[in-house]
Amino acid sequence: MRIVLVTGMSGSGKSVAIRLLEDAGYYCIDNLPSRFLGEVCAYLEGTGHGDVALSVDSRSEAALGDVPDIVATLRANGHDVRVLFLTASNAALVQRYSETRRRHPMALREQPGGSEATLTESIQLERELLSPLINISHVIDTSELHPNTLRQWVRQFTDLPPAALVLAFESFAFKQGVPFAADFVFDVRNLPNPHYDPLLRPLTGLDAPVAAYLQRAPQAGQMLDDISHFLDKWLPSYVADNRHYVTVAIGCTGGRHRSVYMVEELARRFGMHRSVLVRHRGLEQG
């Protein structure tokens, strides 16, 4: 198996890393007591899982000292084990906890005199508890790191391919309203309207006579080219932002002719290089 062990300071971004790996298809277990690492990996191997991500935090306390030996045993058994340790400065962690107003997991640990540990004391205690893991880990300091940069670095560390973007093209009727989930909206009501041709009115943008009618209109070809160039320019930035879905909505008056044709043509162009979905709201509504 490929096993990614994510550990480190609370508030340093472990959840960001785990969610990324989960989205990439890893079987993820968060906050696993470290003493069960070997048993859980053996069980998951028996159930056929190939990619596994496990998160271990400071609440395992005394058992953390056993993690290096467990990792060595897993590697000796042929597993690809990678240990990622996320950390941050005290100042960054204090700021993050102040913003989220969450209680540090070490705060309730019993202190001399029975008092609750302060946030600074909890952070220092956690550093001491996790220290046995630093020497076996790839360490990333997230103090000044944007979450998207952390995601990119985790991808590099785990050899994940770039995020696959699914591009959805959706036709709609403006008289029914703009789709709520649209990321981009293009209005093609300025194009010649097949609705006014009695022979084309009963048809839709899926029919060859309607497509031929719009292909004869220079504006339709220019609009297709402009939308295509716009998407070609800006979609890479959405991939870099770890977006998985982008919806492009194309609207006309009735959602049956021009927008349908444009969606079909755009899907044909982009479908040669990307994963594409096609939806026609006006046709689905009859």
Q: Is residue 21 over pLDDT 90?
A: yes
Give the Cα separation of 96 and 126 in Å (integer). 16
Closest of 181, 182, 165 to residue 244, by C-alpha: 165
The H-or-E segment that residue 214 falls in is helix 208-215
Average pLDDT of the segment spanning 40-59: 91
Mean pLDDT of the chain: 91
Cα–Cα separations (whole angstroms), residue 115 to 107, 110, 121, 139: 10, 7, 12, 33
Q: Cβ distance 182 to 246 under 8 Å?
A: no
Q: Is residue 154 over pLDDT 70?
A: yes
pLDDT computed for residue 267 by the predictor = 96
Average pLDDT of the segment spanning 263-274: 93
3-state secondary structure of 7: strand
Q: Is residue 286 over pLDDT 60?
A: no
Cross-strand partners of 86 = 8, 140
- Cβ contacts of 122 within 8 Å, gap of 6 or more: 104, 105, 106, 107, 109
Instruction: For CATH 3.40.50.300, list the domain ranges present in the chain.
Output: 2-158
pLDDT computed for residue 185 by the predictor = 97
Give the Cα separation of 275 and 146 in Å (integer). 28
Fold for the domain defined by 2-158: Rossmann fold (3.40.50)
Digit-coded pLDDT (tens) for 54-88: 999 888 776 788 899 999 999 999 999 999 999 99
- Cβ contacts of 21 within 8 Å, gap of 6 or more: 4, 6, 28, 51, 53, 154, 158, 160
Q: Is residue 163 over pLDDT 90?
A: no
pLDDT computed for residue 103 by the predictor = 85
Question: pLDDT grade, residue 132 (50/70/90)?
Answer: confident
Instruction: Tell me which residue has tokens 């982009």.
Output: 270
Give the Cα separation of 245 and 284 in Å (integer). 21
Question: pLDDT grade, residue 224 (50/70/90)?
Answer: very high
The H-or-E segment that residue 275 falls in is strand 275-280
Q: Is residue 182 over pLDDT 60?
A: yes
Sign of the CA dihedral running 103, 108, 113, 115: positive
pLDDT computed for residue 44 by the predictor = 93
Label the pairing between strands 245-252 and 138-141.
unpaired
Residues 155-190 as b/e (b if ≥16 CB within 10 A, e otherwise) read beebebeebebebbbbbbbbeeeebeebeeebebee
Average pLDDT of the segment spanning 22-29: 92
Average pLDDT of the segment spanning 192-208: 96
